[in-house]
A and B are shown apart, each in its own frame.
Chain A
Amino acid sequence: MPKQGKLSRRQFLATTALGAAAAATGSVAMPSVLRAQGAPVKLGVLHPVTGALSYSGQQGRLGATLAIEEINAAGGVKGLGKIDAVLGDAQSTPDGGTAEVEKMNSADVCCIVGGYASNICLATTQAAARYELPYVVDVGVADGIVTRGLKNTFRFGPGFGVISKTALANLAAINEQAGKPAKTVMIVHEDSLFGSGLAKLLNAQLPQQGFEILETIPHPTPTRDFNNVVLKIKAQNPDLIIPANYYNEYVLLARTMQQQQVKPKGIYSVLGGAASSYKFVKEFPEAARYIMDCNHWFDPRNEKALALKKKVESKDQFYTYEVYMNYSCVYLVADALERAGSANRAKLTDALASSTFAGHVMPYGPTKFVNGQNEGAAPVNTQVLDNDIKVILPSGFANAKPVFPRPA
């Protein structure tokens, strides 16, 4: 029988030396928890808040935490109480994200929301799958995220397949409507999962729609100089430019085109990092004018979406898609928690799989997950008109008509 209160030399060494080593090496480095009193439900909120994707990551975190604040202010999840947000920083890398999943699993979260970039989501969902930890992907669009048969993974937004199909159909429709002024195209894309995947799809499908692709130019993230890329564009003079990159690169590319006075008939983005961003439109209205985008967008007829917009803007923040998608994802999880009646991971996974949640702010209709993909999720087409972002397609949501080709 070990004597209580007395510590043997061996025990002392084991608890101090190894304990100190464990502490020093990070076992105590748990993600910080926004404590809500007596809160039983821990929710992981994982975004790349530092590194190359920090702006998008911070916007995503803002959306998620706003939803959690609202849910908690209204008394929390019915029957379960308030939600504790366990915040994580993926540091814009897949291994950074994986390390955070480990911490969140140790912190006993019931579910993780976020990831943002496709390569982060691929790694983090797989890491969470080891613990059968439900994971709701906020943005990551790579189709591979939901085609690996991972039962824990749910994607609320649309994937590449749906986005590119919609984008191409809408581009053809806009061009057709204007009398087919655009015949030649150049694609400028970032060279990781998102941009390259998209470029590959566009290269395969645009020629079928009657477009000639003059050149496809990849670039890394981050890239801080687009002069050479724009000089190439200027030399080839395409009718249409299709950028596919993250926020900073998108802004730089558009500004460089403005500086070098490159004025194609249209700039048509697919998931353009800045094209549907109020921040971009406000800070660089000239560079942003007439840019069209096929992207994630809130339902402009939804009162909750407009109220959230006001709330975000009152905090001097921009209402970007990361905000409202993460906001919606948290509400989706809260609804599933309520239906599951428990924070048990298996029950929550089942509840998410059978979700018909309609209380979000996106133009998707009630959620319906098939193999983890929300089947109703679809992008919309926007255009920067009168220093504002208007929806131009689908007509059911549109509040403006497309202006194409852009006026000289």
Chain B
Amino acid sequence: MRPFLPIAAVLAVLAAVPFVVHSNTTLNFLVVALMIALAGQGWNILGGYGGQYSFGHAAFFGTGTYVTAILQVRYGVNAWFGFVGGIVAGAALGGALGALVFRSGLRGSYFALVTLAFAEVLRIIASVAPITGAGVGTLIKLDLGIRTFQFQSRAAFYWIILALVGVSLVLAQLIERSRFGAWLIAVRENEDAAKALGVDASTVKTVAMVISAAITAAAGCFYAQYFLFVDSGIAYGTWISIEALLTPIIGGVGTVFGPLLGALVVKTLGEAAKLLTGDAPGLDLIIYGTVLVLVIWIMPRGLIGGLASARKLMRREAPAAPTGEVRHG
């Protein structure tokens, strides 16, 4: 149980926020940040633990978004089942894409390019296919109620997305501590060596892709329920692929809390930059970009990696002074 205590503590603190903060602006901000954290955690399973840097996680996010919306709007499926359907569809797509790509032996930049291209192909298909509403998109009717998975209160949405993030944190922790996690990390560190030791690299990567896709698709399903509108640019646009990989990179790739920390920091930075620049259009984005570059430059292993290094440095420095004195003495 012990390894899960930090997760429980973080979730408990975050769950208490709506009791203290009543501003819907803040809750909306946190909901979006947590949604990005969820998408980022999906990317982190495959990219962080498995070393497979996908540039096209929009494919899973978008599939989750569209399936949730289409099941409700076109087939009258209950929103909650639509939500589950979206996750399943995302996972299935992850499995199919993983089987295709990993069986073909595509790695590194080739893998990144294929995922990028795949998401783009889906975007183009979604922009013309009648079932997605083509360029017009799909609009879920505003109909507040538990049955329709639409809430007046932002706090309700906040707790739902927090619960999803909680599940993803537990999953990441379980993977990190499991045999499967060890295989995944072995594949990341040296795929050929892992294979030599008997690890079925392509199956391990495909399973990781399924889990990764399911988590990112869950973020997409949530998007559909929260914003009630989806078009091809939103669902399969590059924005979400970038957000999904940026947050773990900033927070700490291959760490349980990296995506969550990264999402909160990146989104707060964006808001702070906006606050700082007032009404000068675009200036906030310049500041935001500059700070991000600086963070990656100073802490290439992300915030969690940076903090760990700083802690190590401080520990080393503390006893270093007396040792130095002895040497000189």
A residues lining the B interface (CB < 8 Å): 14, 18, 21-22, 24-30, 32, 49-50, 54, 57-58, 87, 89, 93-95, 98-99, 102-103, 105-106, 119, 122-123, 126, 129-130, 142, 144, 148, 150, 189-193, 195-197, 199-200, 218, 220-221
Known pairs A22-B20, A95-B227, A126-B229; list 7 more (Cβ under 8 Å): A27-B21, A94-B234, A119-B137, A122-B229, A148-B142, A192-B137, A196-B127
Closest partner residue, chain A, to B126 (CB atom): A191
Q: Are A29 and B227 closer than 8 Å at their CB atoms?
A: no
Q: Which stretch of B4-12, B99-107, B270-278 is in the interface?
A: B270-278
Q: Given contacts A49-B281, A50-B282, is CB(A102)–CB(B127) below 8 Å?
A: no
For residue B26, CB closer than 8 A to chain A, the reply is yes
Do residues A28 and B275 form an inter-chain contact, with CB atoms below 8 A? Answer: yes
Name A's interface SS: helix
In the complex, chain B residues whose CB is within 8 Å of the CB of A218: 127-128, 135
Decide: A105 near B271, CB < 8 A? Known: A50-B281, A87-B279, A129-B142: no
In the docked arrangement, what's the CA distance between A122 and B279, Å?
24
Contact residue among B26, B28, B30, B279 (Cβ-Cβ distance under 8 Å from A32): B279
* B290 part of interface (Cβ distance < 8 Å): no
A29 contacts which chain B residues (CB < 8 A)?
A: 25, 29, 271-272, 274-275
Chain B nearest CB from A174 CB (Å) reads 27
Asked if B303 is at the interface (CB within 8 A of a chain A CB), the reply is: no
* Residues of chain B from 71 to 111 with CB closer than 8 A to chain A in the complex: none
> What B residues does A130 contact at CB under 8 A?
142, 144, 152
User: How far is B234's CA from A21's CA once the two chains are assembled, in angstroms?
Assistant: 29
Q: Contact size class for B?
A: 35 or more
Q: How far is the CA of A25 from the CA of B271 in the complex (A)?
A: 7
Tell me whether A150 and B139 are in contact (CB under 8 A).
no
Contact flag A191-B25 (CB < 8 Å), given A49-B281, A123-B227: no
Name which residue of chain B comes closest to A126, CB basis: B142
Supposing A18-B21, A29-B275, A192-B233 touch, asked if A99 and B139 sit within 8 A by C-beta, the answer is no
In the complex, whether B264 has a CB less than 8 A from a CB of chain A is: yes
16 pairs, CB–CB < 8 Å, chain A vs chain B: A14-B20, A24-B272, A28-B275, A29-B29, A32-B279, A50-B281, A94-B229, A98-B28, A99-B32, A105-B25, A106-B23, A129-B142, A191-B128, A196-B136, A197-B135, A200-B134
Q: Once bound together, how far apart are the Cα atoms of A54 and B282, in whole Å? A: 9
Query: How many angstroms between the C-alpha atoms of A178 and B33 in the bound complex?
Result: 58
Q: Is the pair B142, A24 in contact by a Cβ cutoff of 8 Å?
A: no
Task: Give the Cβ gap from B20 to chain A, nearest Cβ, in Å.
Answer: 5
Chain A contacts of B274 at CB under 8 A? 29, 89
Give A196 to B134 CA distance when docked, in angstroms: 7
Residues of B that sit less than 8 Å from A by CB: 16-17, 20-21, 23-26, 28-30, 32-33, 123, 127-128, 134-137, 139, 141-142, 144, 152, 154, 223, 227-229, 231-234, 239, 264, 267-268, 271-272, 274-275, 278-279, 281-282, 285
Contacting pair A93 B17 (CB below 8 A)? no
Pick the contact of B234: A28, A54, A93, A144 (CB < 8 A). A93
From B23, B128, B264, B278, contact of A27 by CB (8 A) = B23
Q: Is the CB of A148 within 8 A of B139?
A: yes
- Distance A195 CA – B135 CA, assembled complex (angstroms): 7
Shortest distance between the CB of B77 and any CB in chain A (Å): 20
A24-B268 in contact given A18-B17, A150-B142 (Cβ < 8 Å) = yes
| The residue from B127, B136, B233, B278 contacting A200, defined by CB atoms under 8 A apart | B136
Do the beta carbons of A22 and B281 come within 8 Å of each other? no
A116 to B26, CA, bound (A): 25
**Contact yes or no, B137 A27, CB < 8 A:** no
- Point out the residues of chain B lying under 8 angstroms from A26, CB to CB: 25-26, 29, 267-268, 271, 275
Chain A residue with Cβ nearest B23: A27
What is the CB-to-nearest-CB distance from A310 to chain B, in angstroms, rounded to a whole number?
Answer: 25
Q: Is the CB of B285 within 8 A of A50?
A: yes
Contact B26 A22 (CB under 8 A): yes
Q: Which residues from A are CB-within-8-Å of B228?
A: 123, 126
Q: In the docked arrangement, what's the CA distance between A54 and B281, Å? A: 9
Closest 8 CB pairs of A and B: A196-B135, A27-B26, A26-B271, A26-B29, A49-B281, A102-B28, A191-B127, A106-B25
Cβ–Cβ < 8 Å partners of B128 in chain A: 191, 196, 218
Q: By CB atoms of chain B within 10 A, which of A94, A150, A189, A190 has the most?
A: A94
Q: Using Cβ atoms and an 8 Å threshold, which residues of chain B touch A193?
A: 135-137, 231
Q: Considering the chains assembled together, what is the distance between the CA atoms of A148 and B127 in angstroms?
A: 22
Contacts of A122 in B (CB 8 A): 137, 139, 229
Which of A105, A119, A148 is B231 in contact with, Cβ under 8 Å? Answer: A119
Most chain A CB neighbours (cut-off 10 Å) among B142, B279, B285: B279
Chain B residue at smallest Cβ distance from A198: B135
Q: Which residues of B contact A220 (CB under 8 A)?
A: 123, 127, 233
Of all chain A residues, which has the CB nearest B14? A21
Nearest chain A CB to B128's CB is how many angstroms away?
6
Chain B residues lying within 8 Å of A150, measured Cβ to Cβ, are 142
